[in-house]
Chain A
Amino acid sequence: MKILKLTLIFAMLTFMAIFMMNSCKNDNEEELYGNDTIPCDTSNVTYSGTMKSFFDAQCTSCHYDGNQYPFLENFATAHDYAISNGNTLFTKIKDGHQGTNVTVCEKIQLQKWINSGAN
């Protein structure tokens, strides 16, 4: 009985120690999400002025005409997709689809662009 008790204690403490070590994170919002106080210009977000360079940097290596839909390297197809599937476009990019790595400001600009008609 005593051996059973000791074994149970040992198993439980070991489990707790392993669980604690493997699930502990030491994150802070500053380093994880960057400094949100950096000014983010959302006054005039357009395809040509803002989103084209963003899509080129993050998306168009795959999403170009004739390859992977949606085609984001030109205004017409990017506009059409953002109007019809804006929510999907935003969610995919926000959640790091295929390794996209975007800043908080870029997410805000993308959302602004979609919500204001994707022009």
Chain B
Amino acid sequence: MKKNKYTLLFILVIIGITGFCQDKKNDVTTYTKSTFYANRIINGHSVDLTPPGRLDLKFSHRMGRINNGAYDLFGLDQATLRIGLEYGYNDWFMFGVGRNNIEKLYDGFVKVKFLRQCEGKKNMPITATWFSGMYLNTLKWTDTLRTNYFSNRISYAHQLIVAKKINDKLSLQLTPTLVHHNLVKTKKDKNTIFALGLGGSHKIFNRIALTAEYYYLLPNQIESQINGTEVANSFSLGFDIYTGKHVFQIMVTNSTTMVEKAFITQTTDKWKDGNLHIGFNILRLFNIVNK
């Protein structure tokens, strides 16, 4: 009941502040556009949405470990993959689906932009977006002797994404995150996990930006090890290269997965051990509806 009250309160607050920075006749209000080049910073979502009426076809790869050396061509012999289709419905709403080869995972998400950074007659210092995602593991059950429930396959992630375009070159983002796994290994593991994401982008040349992203897991939430290794915070560095209809994102990261439930709570490689991965995202926008 208490949980219901808080949810209702949260919904009312969001609706209450949605009215900021709305256009009215004769208002001279300038809205900030393109806080980031893409709707991902590196692994995680950025505050931006796919433009209205556009379909975004997204290919993402993360290679094996760089420190495997020349034998594995520095990780290029192994790759994890996500293919996604994402659609911008209008200026403030988008949705998308994807398929990952790790866990044969299907993901779906919605993003709602409810605050837009603007100045002029109206002023709003930040852009804010709500993200909700759902993840379905479709691997065959490893233990067929026990009763396996469909709900065991499902995880969720919710993010309040707040970003500010400081100037034409620099954008910063803060992303409080909640990830929920319906099934965890032990009693000591929390089903609902909180993390805080930090991200940024700095334009170094025209159409090229340096990006960084870090997700901090609050302590004492995940006690189990994954394949004998403790879970680590995800940290990534990369470049965005914008060509008009494509965005190429090239990165070095310690995460091999590309969805929130996985790279935030299931990353095990560590920068200090040199267990890093080269990766890239390719975004291609198609005009579906002229808006």
A residues adjacent to B (C-beta < 8 A): 2, 5-6, 8-10, 12-14, 16-17, 20-21, 23-33, 94-96, 104, 107-108, 111
Asked if residues A23 and B11 are in contact (CB atoms below 8 Å), the reply is no
Per-residue contact bits, chain B 1-34, to A (CB 8 Å; 1 contact, 0 not): 0011001000100110011001000000000000
Give the nearest-CB partner of A10 in chain B: B15
Q: DSSP class of B's interface residues: helix, strand, loop or mixed?
A: mixed
Cα–Cα, bound, A5→B112 (Å): 11
A-facing residues in B86-101 (Cβ within 8 Å): 92-93
Q: Does B151 belong to the interface (CB within 8 Å)?
A: yes
User: From DSSP, what is the main secondary structure of chain A's interface residues?
Assistant: helix
Contact (Cβ within 8 A) A24 B11: no
* Chain A binder among B161-169, B182-190, B277-285: B182-190
B interface size (C-beta, 8 A): 36
Measured between beta carbons, the chain A residues less than 8 angstroms from B4 are 21
Chain A residue with the shortest CB-CB distance to B112: A9
With both beta carbons as reference points, the residue of chain B lying nearest to A108 in the complex is identified as: B145
In the complex, B156 has a CB within 8 A of chain A: yes
CA distance A16 to B112 in the complex (A): 12
Pairwise interchain contact B15-A21, C-beta atoms closer than 8 A: no
| Cα of A95 to Cα of B148 in the assembled complex, Å | 9
What is the distance, in angstroms, from A102's C-beta to the closest C-beta of chain B? Answer: 9
B186 touches A28 (CB 8 A): yes
